[in-house]
Amino acid sequence: MPKKGSAEERDLVHKLWDRNFAAMRAPASGGATKRPLPDVVAGNGQIYLAIEVKTTIKDKLYIDSPQIDALMEFCEIFGASPYLGVKFKYTKWLFLPPDKIERTKKNNYKVEKNYALEHGFEIDEITGLDKQVKF
């Protein structure tokens, strides 16, 4: 089922371009390289975003901590804001900074749909189009 994930990543890239961000899918994300690459990288000259993308038809998802660690490492080097971009079935894109994601007992990450709906940022918030969010 990997096609669905890449289709969702392309959808997100198009939404970022629609907001005047240059955006691209990282071709070697997902463990194809030893380098810490997020799924999507975007910027507009003022705001830089690195996004690890997760989609699910369930009401919760789990993320292995090395994926978030790699996202954080990339952002430190690149100067981007790190986000986990989540899309649950029948929801819009929601974005959570890693420090707002719940940790499991095994020190991985867990996101529940209701938590994301309540605490996640929308795309216009992370791209600065909604001026109420402070970066």
Average pLDDT over residues 74-102: 95
Q: The whole model's pTM is what? A: 0.88
**CATH top-level class of 2-126:** alpha beta
The residue annotated as part of the active site, out of 6, 29, 65, 81, is: 29
Domain boundaries, the chain: 2-126
> Tens of pLDDT along 93-123?
999 999 999 999 888 999 999 999 999 999 9
What per-residue confidence (pLDDT) applies to 133? 46
What per-residue confidence (pLDDT) applies to 135? 42
Is the pLDDT at 132 greater than 60? The verdict is: no
Q: Which long-range contacts (CB under 8 A, 24 or more apart) does 100-109 make?
A: 101/63, 101/68, 104/62, 107/65, 108/62, 108/63, 108/64, 108/65, 109/62, 109/63, 109/64, 109/65, 109/68, 109/84
> Tens of pLDDT along 25-66?
987 655 556 788 899 999 999 999 999 999 999 999 999 999
Known catalytic residue: 65? no
Query: The tokens of 108 are what?
Result: 């991985």
